[in-house]
Structure 1
Amino acid sequence: MKQVIYIIGILIFLLSCQKAENSDIQLLKNTEDIISYIIESKAYALPPPPPPNDSLWKLTQEVKDSILNVKLNVAIYPTLKAPLSNNKEGLLKLDEEFQALVNNFINIKSSTNIPIVSINKKSRHRVILADTIILKKSRDWKEYDLLFYFSNISFNKNYDKAALRIGISRSSLWGSGGLFLLEKKGDNWETVKIIEKEEW
């Protein structure tokens, strides 16, 4: 009888390890996909300034397309950070599932490492980890065109909805950020809503 209980215990342990491993794989893959999606949708070169004294000047479609095709040096802050406290007023209008994801920020462990190799393979840009020493020394960094900060990502059980905070900077004095709510449709993530948007 003791042997049967022992074997059942081992089987339960192995099954729980397998579930934890599958969950870790899903977490990593979806984290890579979301970070890649945000970089691809938010990283673009600045348009050229208009010619002097030409009030009718407009960007042509050709110029817009060429701007979107410019490959940038994109840096990512090296770790995912625990999100800051929430603005309760902006969150009142969320549906229950997104509200639960935002409330779950408190329970997420901080300082998860960024899977930079996989993200770089998926990106049209050159994606690197930011050098935090350079960031501390200078308000403007010449090594990067853009710097992204990502919070830890709060996922639902099915890994088809997510919430995270993102900051995007061209220098320490020029950037924007907010709370991004995302939904997975098919194999692709899409932004449902951005709230608490701020600029600096």
Structure 2
Amino acid sequence: MRNLYLKYSVSIVLIVSSCGIGIEEKFENSNEILITLYDTLALPTLQDFPPLLEGYISEDSLQTVRTFTKLREEQSREIKTVAIPGYLISGKNLEIENLKLDEEFKTLVLQLKSLDAQPLDLSLIKTKRKDSIIEYKEQLLDPQVSDYLKFDLLISFSRIAFNANSDKAVIIGTRSTSGLAGNSALYFFERKNGKWIIVKSIGIWIS
């Protein structure tokens, strides 16, 4: 029991960076953001609906939309093996010179750049999805093959930077489906009506 309490306490301290609210609320905010971002990154990436051909009638248009909607729904329910590193990455190597942000979010991004990597307890990611979440280790990769053979998706998170009121936050999320296919983005969160939602994202380069 004592070890469990210590593990819980350490997770609370390491996962957040903000001021002005209690530790327990910081922990809950961070949890919700991580889960929301996980659910976003775990969804399949599909192409947009194709443009309708000249001469399409309305019934054909509706059928096309229904087909793609069904495909999205089916793929979103697929159970994946998702690998996540057992730590929150640092934002120190984030390149922000060309980012266009309002002052408050710019301040949060600068705060994010000051944060070191910290351990992440993967059991905190309690998503409604039924994916199998495993800890990412380099041993899971085949050095001769770029495709992921032992898992379907690699997701990683950075530390989270909160504003003083803890109603805005910034985090880096990375999603890769192979050694040659992946992307990273800054995700800007706001707390509205009691829930954390993504208000925008910006693709980034991490050196």
Asked whether the two chains share a fold, i.e. TM above 0.5, the reply is yes
Q: 1:128 to 1:104 in 2, by over 3 A?
A: same
| Greater helix share, structure number | 1
Equivalent residue in structure 1 for 2:107, among 83, 97, 100: 100
| Farther-moved stretch of structure 1 (35-44 vs 161-170) | 35-44
AA partner of residue 123 (structure 2): V
Q: How far apart are the structure 1 equivalents of 2:124 and 2:94?
A: 30
Where does the alignment leave 5 or more consecutive residues of structure 1 unmatched?
A: 1-19, 48-55
1:130 maps to 2:139: no
AA at the equivalent of 1:183: E
State the AA in 1 paired with 2:94: S
The one-character-per-residue Cα deviations of 1:61-114 (angstroms, maximum 9, x if unpaired) are: 333221111121112121111112332221xx3222111101112432x23222
Please, which moves more after superposition, 114-123 or 71-80? Answer: 114-123
Partner residue in 2 for 1:158: 165
1:82 aligns to what?
A: 90
What is the one-letter code of the residue matched to 2:125?
Answer: I
TM-score, normalization by structure 2: 0.69
Q: Which has the larger radius of gyration?
A: 1
Change (3 A) 1:197 1:107: closer
Structure 2: gaps (5+ residues): 1-18, 47-59
CA distance in 2 between partners of 1:139 and 1:100 (Å): 37
Alpha-carbon contact 2:141-2:150 (below 8 Å) kept: no
For 1:128, what is the secondary structure of its paired residue? strand
Opposite residue 161 of structure 1, the aligned amino acid is K
Give, in whole Å, the separation in 2 of the partners of 1:136 and 1:23: 44
Match among 193, 196, 202 for residue 195 of structure 1: 202
Does structure 1 residue 139 correspond to structure 2 residue 138? no
Give RMSD over aligned pairs. Answer: 2.8
CA contact (8 A) 1:140 1:172 kept: yes
Greater relative contact order (Cα < 8 A, sep 6+) = 2
Read off the aligned partner of 2:69 and give its amino acid letter: Q
**Paired residues of 1:82 and 1:111 also in contact (CA < 8 A):** yes
Distance 1:27 1:67 in 2: 33
**Taking structure 1 as reference, are residues 123 and 38 closer, same or farther at Cα in structure 2, changes over 3 Å only?**
same
SS at match of 1:89: coil
2: distance between equivalents of 1:27 and 1:163?
Answer: 14
User: Within 2, Cα distance between the matches of 1:141 and 1:154?
Assistant: 31
Identity of aligned residues (%): 26
Aligned to 1:30: 29
